[in-house]
Structure formats: C-alpha cells, structure tokens
Amino acid sequence: MPELPAAYRTAPFDEHCAPRRLLRLFNGKWTTMVLHTLHLLGGSSRPGHLLRSIPDLSKKMMTQTLRELEQAGLIARTVQQIMPPVVEYSLTEMGQKFIEPIEMLYHWGIEHADLLDRVTAAQHAAKAAMKDQPESITEEF
C-alpha cells in the first residue's frame, strides 16, 4: 500500500482535508450498502428492486440515503416520462470510482469475519455491562 503524504500522517486533521471529506461520504448507515447493491445490480436499479435487495432497510431510510447520495454526486436519478412514471437510480462516474474502496472494505470484512464476530461480541458485552451500571456523567477529556 502506498504511504500517505506527510500532511496526513500527523494529527490534527483539518476539517477540509481529504480523509475527513472522504469519511463524510460514509456518514450514513446505509450509504455503502446502497452503493454496493447498485454496483451488484449492474450500476442501476429501480427503487423497489433496490429496497427488496437490502434486508432491514426501510423505505424512509432508503429514500433519505438515495437523496444524500444524489446530492453528493455519487448517483443520478432518472425519471422516464411514461405512465406511470418510472424512476431509476444509477451510479455516476464518481460513484463508480467510489465503489473501488467500498469493495476493498467488503473483501476485508469477508476475509476477517472472525475478527468482526469478536468485535461485535465485545460491543454487545460492553453494552450489556453498561445497563448494569448506574447512570453517571464523567468527564474523561
């Protein structure tokens, strides 16, 4: 893997630096899953097909995610002027480029599923332990 430029190897990270701008694109819970699914569906899909392809994604969250992705320029919305109108979402050129790092992360997740299982178990255990503790606010910073 190529080494990061010197400006990105030390903190603090400026609000407008490339890593923070990239992470803002990952902001939504369903962002990568919607992009990944569009990619798997050949780069475009009607909303109903997309919704059926992603278990647990509500229609409201899908609509919100699609709007955010469209505003970011990662997908395009096309309305065919027939009766009834047909809406289709497709990856833009930038969206197709953004798929590359997403696919790398997904492959990493597949290769390290056992590690992810341990992390998830630790998170559930920590959450359960927090329920047993009295509520208090402590300042750690």
pLDDT value at residue 139: 57
pLDDT value at residue 3: 81
pLDDT value at residue 28: 86
56 domain residue, yes or no: yes
In contact, 59 and 51? CB cutoff 8 Å: yes
pLDDT value at residue 56: 95
50 domain residue, yes or no: yes
Report pTM. Answer: 0.79
1 contact partners, CB below 8 Å, separation of at least 6: none
132 domain residue, yes or no: no
10 domain residue, yes or no: yes
135 domain residue, yes or no: no
Taking only the tens place, the pLDDT of each residue in 43-81 is 999 999 999 999 999 999 999 999 999 999 999 999 988
pLDDT value at residue 135: 63
25 domain residue, yes or no: yes
Within the chain, which residues score under 70 in pLDDT? 8-9, 11, 134-141
pLDDT value at residue 33: 95
34 domain residue, yes or no: yes
| CATH of residue 11 | 1.10.10.10
85 domain residue, yes or no: yes
pLDDT value at residue 116: 94
pLDDT value at residue 120: 94
Containing domain of residue 63, as a range?
A: 6-103
Number of domains in the chain: 1
